[in-house]
Amino acid sequence: MKRTSLILAAAILTFTGALAQNVDDALRYSQIFYNGTARFMSMSGAFTALGGDLSSLSQNPAGIGVFRSSEISLTPQLFHSKTSASFNGTTDDYLYNFNLGQAGIVTNMINGTGTSGLISLNIGYSFNKTNNLNSSTRIQGRSTESSMADYWADSGFGTSYTDLSGAAGIAYDAWIIDTITGSGAKRYGTVFSNYGDNAVSDYGQSLRRLITNEGYTGEHAFSIGGNYSNKVYFGATLGISRIRYTGHYEHLEKADYYLDSGFGDFTYVEHFENTGTGISLKIGTIIKPTEEIRIGLAFHSPTLYRINERFYDNITSNFTDGDQYEYYNEELKYNYALTTPFRALAGVAYQFKKLGLLSVDYEFVDYSTIRFSETGDNYDYSEKNLEIKNTLKPVSNIRLGGELRLNKMYFRGGYGYYGKVFRSGELNDDKFHRSISLGAGFREQNLNIDFGFTNLRNDQDYILYNAPAETAVAGLVNSRNIFAVTLGYKFGY
């Protein structure tokens, strides 16, 4: 029988390391969608063979050797995200975000006047945003076959109610699930079946999930490189990467019809925050066999991250007799390590004298090699790493970019394809990212201003919960628009 008083209490969650560090986390911090200067972005980042742009320090370090003078640049961005969700109906949500996409400087250490040998040696620094993780999603519709309560009831099967933990534990305390009479206190029913007293569950409740994600990944690139005989450019970058990410959702289910349990609605909240620092090494070269052709090669070592995380969840329930319950699990703080995949890049560019250029990049990344590891708590990540290996796969990414020069004006465009990361048979195994870019710029002696626009789009099947009767899935269409402007100044020439 349902309690008749308002209760506010904490149920302690026994942490086993199973809440986080999953495939989604591994992929989120390993995928890179190169941001940077407006010129770099408007050509979809196809700069492996080009260089001469501060954003290339994070892509092909040999690009620093192409600089003929010292240069400084700054790139603010306007980020717009729109997500369309389909779940027995379609809803849209969006957000805007102002941020810094790039800031950097390069300067000459050696600036010779000859045409053979070491002609120049440059050092530089650039901060480059590698992925903007801000998004807002609203999933809404009628659920006619299941409830998130079914997931909690199923996860508690075989466990005594006195030993329930995690979300199932607070769902039990809030009377969303309860033991089934005669089950030995180890089987659970939900409010939709009157805790198992009714033969079938009565669904038709309205469901709404609000997902708010905030954060980014970015890299501080410290580079050195040079020019040898105007034929070979070389460089190396020490990358210090940063993660700042908050994942938050509120899941509401509301019955606007009569249920024997007297259920009205419940809201479940899950929240986690990640901060981390990583280190990597990149090397590269650009070869210019003729004045028109450039060939670029680069290798990125895995990034070794140390990540700190805090997590909490809570639940609130309301019943038609006026009773309300609120329970929460104790906030958790823990840390772990993540090793991202290595990357191999190759590019070819062709210069049409002073009229313009075309560039194409190929990038290989094996996401199945991502690995979690412990940082002092002796937790065994072998099963999680095996899941990553069996779920993700190697991919090929391709970027195309072009630039047309008309006197002091430049017009640019680009396209990017980022391959399917999930193995065949997995959810989302046919999904990929694509980018379309446009831009323009003006250059006058030592001053330049560039404008760039990039649209990054992907489709996604999003699992709300797994219940015995069904896996509740919403279809998402994510569209991210980035508007960038770069102010650049050359000096010392």
Whole-number pLDDT of residue 9: 33
Q: Would you call 69 helix, strand, or coil by DSSP? A: coil
Whole-number pLDDT of residue 21: 78
How far is residue 407's CA from residue 190's CA, in Å, rounded to a whole number?
71
Global confidence as pTM = 0.91
Residues in the chain: 493
Give the angle 204-210-212 at the CA atoms, nearest 5°.
Answer: 165
Give the angle 4-5-6 at the CA atoms, nearest 5°.
Answer: 135
How far is residue 169's CA from residue 15's CA, in Å, rounded to a whole number?
13
How far is residue 100's CA from residue 102's CA, in Å, rounded to a whole number?
6
The model's pLDDT over 198-236, given as tens digits with 9 standing for 90+, comes to 999 999 999 999 999 999 999 999 999 999 999 999 999
Whole-number pLDDT of residue 4: 35
CATH class of segment(s) 7-147+203-491: mainly beta
Whole-number pLDDT of residue 78: 97
Consecutive H or E run containing 324? strand 324-329
Phi-psi sector, 420: left (phi>0), alpha (psi -120 to 50), beta: beta
State the average pLDDT for the chain. Answer: 93
How far is residue 428's CA from residue 431's CA, in Å, rounded to a whole number?
5
CB count within 10 Å of CB 289 equals 10
Give the list of residues 6+ apart from residue 67 with CB closer than 8 angstroms, or none: 51, 52, 106, 108, 120, 122, 124
CA-wise closest residue to 272 among 41, 461, 481, 21: 21
Give the list of residues 6+ apart from residue 18 with CB closer than 8 angstroms, or none: none
420 vs 334, more confident: 420
Note the helical H segments in 47-124: none
The model's pLDDT over 308-341, given as tens digits with 9 standing for 90+, comes to 999 999 999 999 999 999 999 999 998 999 999 9
Residue 58 DSSP symbol:
G
Q: Are 332 and 19 in contact (CB under 8 A)?
A: yes
CA-wise closest residue to 59 among 135, 131, 128, 139: 128
* Alpha-carbon separation of residue 100 from 130, 178, 244 (angstroms): 11, 50, 14
Whole-number pLDDT of residue 493: 56
Can you tell me the mean pLDDT for 169-182? 94
The model's pLDDT over 424-464, given as tens digits with 9 standing for 90+, comes to 999 999 999 999 999 999 998 889 999 999 999 999 999 99
Instruction: Give the E-state strand segments of 150-255 in sequence order.
Output: 177-179, 188-190, 205-228, 232-254
Give the angle 414-345-398 at the CA atoms, nearest 5°.
Answer: 35
How far is residue 346's CA from residue 349's CA, in Å, rounded to a whole number?
10
Whole-number pLDDT of residue 492: 66
